[in-house]
Amino acid sequence: MNSFILKFYHGTLLGNGLRFIFHSLINSFPDKQFQKYRYFKNMGKKLRLNPPNTLNEKICWLKLNDRTPLHTQCADKYAVRDYVIEKIGSEYLVPLYFQTENVEDICDENLTLTPCIIKTNHDSGGGIFIYEKQNINWVEVRSELKERLLHNYYDKYREWQYKNIKPSIIVEKLLINKEGAIPFDYKLHCFNGKVRMIQVDMGRGTKKHYRNWYDINWNREPYKWSSPKQNGEQTDPSKEDIAKPDTFDEMVLLSNKLSEPFDYARVDWYDVDSTLYFGEITFHHDGGTKPILPEAWDLKLGQELELTTYKS
């Protein structure tokens, strides 16, 4: 029966029409109702906001209630560079090769340095990797960027900090280690200006994308907080441990400084052959709508995070 419904819903004109009407209705919801719907859809239970108790609930509460111009600046992949310079210095920034608001500027003449990554400043996710300029179809690249520039990430997930970012294109150095690989992604989750746990993503964009969790002393955490991969599996922890990077203490110190103004923030880093580069700042990891398992850890971690502006 479920198979029949799915085929009807996705494979017929009437089903596609009903799906369009349903999604249009959901997208018309006010932010709070939209968030409650997404939470229930992903978590299978109602969202509690008064009071929020678990970490996911508190992230959802922050999404709806903690909105400042600094959030917008830090979500902007171009404007955040000024914040990083102010707080910790320019030496941690990935080299910027080019920036423009005009997609027609993305061409062979302006992109003289490779390897590089081309991305927009106002969304979440990866970019276009350019390893060398031979055989690059710039028409296709510009077409993809045009689509990205038209999207407002706030409309899709209602994360307010993206709403007022002025879209632009940035071209940065593509970070590659001495082995020719993309470096591991270290994401430091900060509670009230202090690093609480570390997420390490390995093999991103592949079937072997694993996500390990460590505490501040680089001990494995007893939970997982996974995201779906493109093949439908989850980014669960790997069986093998990852060595603590040489720059770990520096990562922690700098993350504390960058997250100091915020109740909760995730600060991302890349260690490239023991040289540290800032990645980005994220305020609502996975939108606050992905289970932490065992479930008791969602509550335990939530109890450790103080919402400084919450009033019952």
What are the tens digits of pLDDT across the range 174-214?
999 999 888 888 999 999 999 999 999 988 777 888 999 99
Between CA 212 and CA 242 the distance in angstroms is 8
Write down the pLDDT at residue 184: 87
Query: Which pTM does this prediction carry?
Result: 0.91
Between CA 206 and CA 203 the distance in angstroms is 6
Averaged over 228-250, what is the pLDDT?
A: 92
Averaged over 30-37, what is the pLDDT?
A: 95
Write down the pLDDT at residue 24: 67
**What percent of the chain clears pLDDT 90, i.e. is strictly above it?**
79
Averaged over 213-237, what is the pLDDT?
A: 94
Instruction: For 111-124, write each residue's pLDDT tens digit.
Output: 999 999 999 999 88
Q: Is 32 helix (H, G, I), strand (E, B) or coil?
A: helix
User: Cβ-count burial of 151 within 10 angstroms (0-12 exposed, 13-18 middle, 19+ buried)?
Assistant: middle
Write down the pLDDT at residue 1: 46
Between CA 312 and CA 308 the distance in angstroms is 12
CA angle 257, 261, 264 (to 5 degrees): 95
Averaged over 25-31, what is the pLDDT?
A: 81
User: By mean pLDDT, which of 21-35, 90-104, 221-235, 289-303 is the weakest?
Assistant: 21-35
User: Cβ-count burial of 249 within 10 angstroms (0-12 exposed, 13-18 middle, 19+ buried)?
Assistant: exposed
